[in-house]
Chain A
Amino acid sequence: MENKNTSRRDFLLSGILATAALTGCGEAENPFLPEAEVALTGEKVKLLSVTGEVIEIDKAYLKPVPAMPPLTNEQERMGIEGKKFVMVIDLARCKNLKKCQESCNHAHFVEEGQSWVKIHSMQESDLTAPYWQPTTCMHCDEPPCVKVCPVDATFKRQDGIVAIDSDRCIGCRFCMAACPYSTRVFNWEEPTNIPEEVKQQHYSCETSVPQKKGTVGKCDFCPDMVRKGELPHCVSACPNGVFMFGDINEDSVTNGAETYRFSDLIRDKAGYRLMEDLGTKPSVYYLPPVSRNFPYESGIENQDPQDLHHH
């Protein structure tokens, strides 16, 4: 009797581990595979199994699991309590390497030819200096896209993020017309970039994956990374530390290497937001391209020649 029970526990346990492994990342460095030999400690712990039964296992089987428990749609719509995310983009450091774009597109399986982060070649007028301007979703506090969405498929969370529920979006594209920053892209066809197993996953408003045919997509400020204690993909991908991400309630932003007090940074470097006159109140701030680390010209080779003609 005792024996039989143990084997059942083992079975359940391996089941749990298998699920954990599936939701984890690559096979090679999978931390969740049960080790061949586990030295039993003899100390037992009680756990609640997935089927709702209380089970008892040896402590040695316990491993830290960094993967987050799946969030419900309501939780994803609420956002992370007590946070108010902010981004600072330092134009003086950008040389149009497009690493941010690459890693973002890769992480979200963005369709070929589209991107959620765009690096604009900007020049205000003939005699002013051109510069590179990475543009993400501005996560406005008065988001025009949210105002016009008929079904609450694009919504504002309490942590400031404007997210999209691709399971609800009807694909009317009103939000695209309403966004003055032209940040939104549309899945004109069945996404071709997404691996089959990712496609099978449930859509999450926090990862914005997997994108769905006939719905709209855009930068989501990567709250899933924040929950894991990491930075958004664009932030960590930029070797020049252009992007700084943080929480306005803590008054701090970081690019991974350096951390600044947000208010000091904005004051000392004369930070500003795009199209302030529209009243959209973006969560993304820019530091002007003064005393640059790189000349504008160093980025030209990375830009499509047709995109060098600025209005």
Chain B
Amino acid sequence: MIWTGILVIIGLVGLYAYYRQLRYGLVVTNMRDYVSWGIYISNFVFFVAISLVGSLITAIFRLANVKWATPITRIAEIIAVSAIIFASLIIVIDMGRPERLLNVFIHGRIQSPILWDVIVIGTYLVISVLLLYVPLLPDLKILIKFKENSGKLLNKVYRFQGSFWRGTKDQFKISERSITALCITIIPVAFCIHTVTSWLFATTYRPGWDSTNFGAYFISGAFLVGAGAVVVAMFVFRRFYKLEKYITEMHFEKMGRIVVMLCMLYLYFNINEYLVPAFKMKKAEEAHLMGLFTGEFSLMFWFAISVGMILPIIILLFKKGRKPLPMFIAGVMIVIGAWFKRYLIVTPTLLHPILPMQEVPEAYHHYFPSWEEWAIAMGSMAGVLLIITLFARIYPIIPIQETITEHHENDEAH
């Protein structure tokens, strides 16, 4: 309850900040003509990145027949849905004229990568919601059966959403099939959402963005931060809902192996992204790269690299490191490192335009988010957590039916 209360309060502060932004304009932010995108956009990239994990754990694992992952699929899927909802919201928040949002549909031009993003993110949201909903149906039936355990209102919700589900063989067959179909479609769409998001940057001429490495670099980073977030959520839910029987040490051990692999993959793309241009040190890139390596942003840069990648790799390479608590710590490090990494992708580049920054007020030469920006960014995070929290209150966070089936299969095998 305290947890929810805190989230609601943070969300309300964010809403108030947004009210101020609507009223006075984007001037309440510290974005200006050079740094014209700030933490709203880096937050957007962060959310899109996290949401990719839904496709990894639900779809890729399911198709690859990775059975052990069943208990954590729903956690992954709700993270995906809530993150992608807030990714869409934060883009609207970043707009100078949000009331003209409909222009995107009335006057939309398909040549703009923004349109591609609107299309793929919309599709991804629909598929993700379905992937959350369809496997939930058998569980709803169970919930309706044990109605004394839930309140009257909740029961109404369950009935509304799932009363048509009788659990017949035919229905299971249809649901099996549709889940498979959804899993197959969500993978290319997931790759699209983050590739297109990377193209918002890579289609420009700016040093630090003008890179053919960007799509793969973004996707590998996305799988990493998403997996990190799932590990954190696994730990927290296991603690608070006493799920030790379902989310076992084995799950952490296996997730740990996957996360360490993803960490290395992301590190690999980072080396590509920084070492190759640094080797050549073209004039335009130089100012940008030196700002990251030794200049204004070096502290944050090395923090993101070490805390977001290198330290988790060291922790998770050891068997002892793949126990729940160290995994949780590594997961938190990955998520925090990833947030700063997104900040570093957006801001420093904008501070190194091709023509020198001149003839603007001194304040335009720097960027540090205003309190309104922080409040809105934090508010959106609180919003994501709130959706996850409420979802876990209303629905079983471990898929009951699927876990039972899987246990049965396991027992038969033994």
Which A residues fall within an 8 A CB radius of B? Answer: 101, 113-115, 118-122, 135, 144, 147-153, 168-174, 176-178, 180-182, 184-190, 213-216, 274-275, 278, 304, 306-307, 309-311
Contact of A170 among B32, B36, B96, B356 (CB under 8 A): B96
Smallest Cβ-Cβ distance to B362: which chain A residue: A306
Contact indicator B355/A172 (Cβ below 8 Å): no
Residue numbers in B under 8 Å from A144 (CB-CB): 204-205
Instruction: Determine if A148 and B113 form an interchain contact, defined as CB atoms under 8 angstroms apart.
Output: yes
Q: A148-B113, A151-B108, A152-B109 are in contact. List 15 more A-B contacts (CB 8 A).
A: A113-B361, A118-B358, A135-B355, A148-B203, A150-B104, A153-B103, A169-B100, A174-B113, A174-B200, A176-B33, A176-B36, A180-B206, A180-B354, A184-B33, A189-B27
Contact of B203 among A149, A178, A274, A309 (CB under 8 A): A178
Interface presence of B152 (CB below 8 A) = no
Q: Which residues of A contact B26 (CB under 8 A)?
A: 171, 186, 188-189, 214
25 contacts between A and B (CB under 8 A): A118-B358, A121-B356, A147-B111, A147-B203, A148-B113, A148-B114, A148-B204, A150-B112, A172-B94, A172-B95, A173-B36, A173-B37, A174-B200, A177-B350, A180-B204, A180-B354, A184-B33, A186-B33, A188-B26, A188-B27, A190-B24, A274-B355, A275-B354, A307-B358, A307-B359
Contacts A177-B204, A188-B25; is A169 near B97 (CB within 8 Å)? yes
**Which 4 pairs of residues, A with B, have the shortest CB-CB distance?**
A171-B96, A214-B96, A189-B27, A150-B114
Report yes or no: A168 in contact with B100, Cβ–Cβ below 8 A: yes
- With beta carbons under 8 angstroms apart, the residue of A120, A213, A274, A307 that contacts B96 is A213
B355 / chain A contacts, CB cutoff of 8 Å: 120, 135, 180-182, 274
B34 at the interface (CB under 8 A from A): yes
- CA A114 to CA B33, docked complex, whole Å: 9
State whether the Cβ of B242 lies closer than 8 Å to any Cβ in chain A.
no
> Does B107 make an interface contact (CB < 8 A)?
yes
> A residues within 8 A CB of B359?
101, 115, 118-120, 304, 307
Q: Which of A101, A115, A186, A215 contacts B36 (CB 8 A)?
A: A186
* B387 adjacent to chain A (CB < 8 Å): no
Chain A residues with CB under 8 Å of B106's CB are 151
Distance of A234 from chain B, by nearest CB (Å): 14
What A residues does B96 contact at CB under 8 A? 169-173, 186-187, 213-216
Q: How far is the CA of A215 from the CA of B97 in the complex (A)?
A: 7
Contact A149 B36 (CB under 8 A): no
A168 to B96, CA, bound (A): 11
Partner of B114, one of A169, A174, A185: A174
Interface centre among A115, A151, A153, A275 (most CB of B within 10 A): A151
Cβ–Cβ contact B103 & A190, under 8 A = no
Q: How far is the CB of A131 from chain B (nearest CB, A)?
A: 13
B122 within 8 A of A: no
When distances are taken between beta carbons in the complex, the residues of chain B under 8 Å from A171 are: 26, 95-97, 100
Chain A residues with CB below 8 A from B271, complex form: none
Given A170-B95, A176-B36, A190-B25, also A311-B114 (CB < 8 A): no
A37 nearest CB across to chain B (Å):
52
A135 to B357 alpha-carbon distance, docked (Å): 12
Q: Contact residues of B with A, CB < 8 Å?
A: 24-27, 29, 31-34, 36-37, 94-98, 100-101, 103-104, 106-109, 111-115, 118, 200-201, 203-206, 283, 287, 350, 353-362, 364-365
Given A178-B204, A190-B25, A213-B96, A168–B362 Cβ distance below 8 Å?
A: no
Contact across chains for B354 and A181 when beta carbons are under 8 A apart: yes
In the bound assembly, the distance between CA atoms of A188 and B204 in angstroms comes to: 22
Most buried by A among B27, B94, B361, B365: B27
User: Which residues of chain B are near A309, meaning CB under 8 Å?
Assistant: 356
Q: A307–B359 Cα gap in the complex (Å)?
A: 7
Contact between B204 and A120, CB atoms less than 8 A apart: no
- The chain B residue sitting closest to A121, CB to CB, is B358
Q: Which residues of B sit under 8 angstroms from A184, Cβ to Cβ?
A: 33
In the assembled complex, how far is the CB of residue B355 from the closest CB belonging to chain A, in whole angstroms?
6
A162 to B: closest C-beta gap in Å: 15
Contacts of B33 in A (CB 8 A): 114, 176, 182, 184-186
Contact B353–A182 (Cβ < 8 Å)? yes
Q: Is the CB of B109 within 8 A of A151?
A: yes
Least distance between B35 CB and chain A CB atoms (Å): 10
Nearest neighbor of B353 in chain A, beta-carbon distance: A182
Query: Within the assembled complex, what's the spacing in Å between the Cα atoms of A149 and B36?
Result: 15
Measured between beta carbons, the chain A residues less than 8 angstroms from B94 are: 172-173
Q: A177-B37, A188-B25 are in contact. Are A168 and B112 (CB under 8 A)?
A: no
Is the beta-carbon distance between A113 and B360 smaller than 8 angstroms?
yes
**A168, B25: Cβ atoms closer than 8 Å:** no
Contact A310 B114 (CB under 8 A): no
Cβ of B203 to closest chain A Cβ, rounded Å: 7
In the complex, A168→B102 CA distance in Å? 10
Distance in angstroms from B362 CB to nearest chain A CB is: 7
Choice from B101, B112, B361 contacting A174 with Cβ under 8 Å? B112
| Cα(A216)–Cα(B36), bound, Å | 11
CA distance A147 to B113 in the complex (A): 9
What residues of A have a CB within 8 angstroms of the CB of B32 in the complex? Answer: 186, 188
Chain A residues with CB below 8 A from B203, complex form: 147-148, 178
With A147-B112, A150-B112, A188-B27 as contacts: A177 and B97 at CB distance below 8 Å: no
Q: How far is the CA of A126 from the CA of B4 in the complex (A)?
A: 59
Which of chain A's residues has its CB closest to B361's CB? A113
**Which residues of chain A have C-beta atoms less than 8 A from B36's C-beta?**
173, 176-177, 186
Residues in A whose Cβ lies below 8 Å from that of B101: 170
B206 contact from A122, A177, A188, A307, Cβ within 8 A:
A177
Cβ–Cβ contact B109 & A182, under 8 A:
no
* Contact partners of B115 in chain A: CB under 8 A: 150
Q: How far is the CB of A263 from chain B (nearest CB, A)?
A: 27
Q: Evaluate contact between A114 and B360: CB separation under 8 angstroms.
A: yes
Interchain CA distance A135-B32 in the complex, whole Å:
19
Residue in A closest to B352 when the chains form the complex, CB atoms:
A311
- Once the chains bind, are A214 and B114 in contact (CB under 8 Å)? no
Residues of chain B within 8 A (CB-CB) of A188 are 25-27, 29, 31-32
